Amino acid sequence: MAAIVRTDRELEVPRVDAALRAAGHALTLLPDGVSEARLMRALRDADLLLMCYTPVTARVIESAPRLQGIVKYGVGVDAIDIDAAMARGIPVVNVPEYAEETVAEGAMALMLALAKKQRPIQCAMDEQGWVWPTALWMGIDLAGKTVGVVGVGRIGSKVARMAGLGFRMRVLGFDPHADAARFAQARVERRTELHTLLAESDFVSVHCVLNAATRGLIGARELAVMKASAFLVNVSRGAIVDEAALLRALREKRIAGAALDVYAQEPLAKDEHPLSALYAMKNVIVFPHLTFYTVEAMQRLEEETLERCFEILERRPTLVKSHDPRLRAQQQGVRFAD
């Protein structure tokens, strides 16, 4: 019997929990926001850690002498000190493919909602019961507009397909890690300078991973080159955008609006949060990091999470499907998908 800790219990994965317990393992569930000290105590005798959002620091890893693996039941691994795990020979694995189409659909849904003024119209309907077709409520079409995709990877390329083929938008892309062949395959016009893409775009959709190079990638200078009529959509990671600069740009009406599913500090809150002012802005859609959350995506997530868990528990090399160089640098306890 293994001792397993799963953090972020608010994200329900009942099939994972039931299967691990049915296999005879002892499972401890910890809440979102658990302190480092409490996590360290829980991991003192643990063989496996499952996490989604909770930071897994070097101190946490060093405090777990029996730990055999870390499974991120999700995509981003920026909350895990992977170097510390590698130093201990502890494999780290994520589930990168379960929600690619799902999150791309979510980005398009947010883009549509901004274009059609869904939030302010719904607020007016709730307050007044009806609105008439005056200029205040006039939306725009996506067809014929330009969308700039920042990060033409798994999700960004799918947004490009939906926007281009589905909505007849012009699609530009910026990704210093993608070659010309990937842009051609995704039917995306390549831009080698981020500012060029931002200046041309009516919608900017963020789809890159968070790392040292992308933290604050879209800051005050980048927001300043966007059109005053343009919208920003971020379903990737909050810290890719300088959120203080974004808040200023929205207050000063230097861009038309934004739709955000992710925030550097989560959860978002109506009070005492750096972005609390967003709630009062009718040209901003705040979504609670749920563009990934559909029946189909969660089924895929649970199935693959269990596969990775049992590989680690059975002392088999665990499959790394991600092409993130931080995960690809591992040399112990892993095998790589092509």
- Residues assigned a catalytic role: 237, 266, 289
C-alpha–C-alpha distance, residues 42 and 138, integer Å: 54
On the question of a cis peptide bond just before residue 317, with omega within 30 degrees of 0, the verdict is: no
CB–CB of 205/147 below 8 Å? Answer: yes
Quickly tell me which residue has 């947004």 as its tokens: 159
**Coil, strand or helix at 278:** helix
Which are the contacts of 129, defined by CB distance < 8 A and separation ≥ 6? none
CB–CB of 25/313 below 8 Å? Answer: yes
C-alpha–C-alpha distance, residues 338 and 325, integer Å: 14
CB–CB of 4/25 below 8 Å? Answer: yes
**Residues in a beta bridge with 170:** 146
Q: Which two tokens stand for residue 161?
A: 């397909």
C-alpha–C-alpha distance, residues 88 and 68, integer Å: 9
CB–CB of 93/72 below 8 Å? Answer: yes
Nearest-CA neighbor of 132 among 121, 140, 141? 121
C-alpha–C-alpha distance, residues 145 and 74, integer Å: 32
Give the C-alpha distances (Å, rounded to integers) separating 252 from 80, 113, 224, 286: 36, 22, 11, 19
**Coil, strand or helix at 117:** coil
C-alpha–C-alpha distance, residues 141 and 63, integer Å: 55
C-alpha–C-alpha distance, residues 91 and 318, integer Å: 8
